[in-house]
Amino acid sequence: MKKEVSGKKGKAGRVLAIAGIVLAALVLVYTAVCLFAGPLVYPDFYGKAERGAKIPDLWNDFVPQGVTAFEGSDETLVCGYMPGGQNSRIYRIAPDGRVTKILLENEDGTPYTGHAGGFTAAGKYIYISNAQKIFVLDAAAVTEAADGDTVRFTGRFSVPCRASFCSSDGRMLYVGEYHADGYETDESHIRTTADGTFEAMVFAYRLSEDGPFGIGDTESPEKAYAVCDEVQGFAVLPDGTAVLSCSAGLNASMLRMFRTDGEADSSFSVDSGEVPVVYLDASRETRTVKAPHMSEDLEYRNGKLHIGFEAGAKKYGGGLLPFSVTNVMKMDVE
């Protein structure tokens, strides 16, 4: 009887071992498909983009949203949110992969648990956008923080949009909103363009070292752009080209590029007067690059367009779905 039990255990062990080998083989095949099929499915994107910093803590519930860097710095900064009332956070990622985690606090010292969507560094400040606000951090406090430290916002100011994303180019701070079904925007943002009705806007504020929070006038944007639905990020290149990161769910992302020169198409009223509005539609579009799903924030730094992706977050499959990007991507757009 004992020999029979022992034989059954041995047989079960062999079955489990074979199953483990088959599973490991499937994982290797799947990984190879994801690695090598990506450039075949998205040749224009991978022909210009390279993998940058690996986004940390994706399997520890971190949901990445924003990406930025300081001009001339080799570090990459990523921000995002956490579930369950945990502090939203920033990760500084060194070129060697070393990670510094920084927890965010409100001005009164309470944990900041907001979306931590857009993210940009400009001069002495770092900006995070969410909930019709720009939240301001002292850049030195972020760069000097040790792993696990908390950094407190120095202040915040309101903007005339939902503030889903933000970026900067050394001259302007850009802050814009996401529009889609279920994500409505103010009726005053609706514009009729060559592509149909646009219901989202991006506002540009002049940067100034002498202004409050590094902004010339926090109450008066200098310019605005009408943009299409499903915009997750926005950046302006040195030649004036505007790039939109457009994505929704598992659909392929689109990096859409537009000229921004020429006369304004309409205006937008603020307390200080009328702001010129430029329509980023088919009449100005120069190029579209198809990219993997869930592209997010954009930032042009050090000669590359930095692109954040949230597809690697555990809530979206932890990077296991085909073509999911778990790194910050750096794209040559010259």
Residue appearing with tokens 């701070």: 173
Q: Where are the alpha helices (DSSP H) in 90-144?
A: 139-144
Helices and strands (H and E) in the chain: how many? 3, 25
In three-state secondary structure terms, 244 is strand
Q: Please, what are the averages of pLDDT over each run of 10 residues along the chain (334 residues)?
A: 57 70 61 69 96 97 97 94 96 97 98 95 97 97 98 97 97 98 96 97 96 94 98 97 97 97 95 93 97 98 97 93 95 90
Question: Could you tell me whether strands 295-301 and 165-168 are parallel, antiparallel, or unpaired per DSSP bridges?
Answer: unpaired
Query: For the whole model, what pTM was predicted?
Result: 0.90
CA dist list (Å): 203 to 68, 111, 224, 276:
19, 28, 4, 10
pLDDT digits (tens, 9 = 90+) for 73-131: 999 999 999 999 999 999 999 999 999 999 999 999 999 999 998 999 999 999 999 99
pLDDT digits (tens, 9 = 90+) for 25-45: 655 555 556 556 788 999 999
CA distance 139 to 95: 19
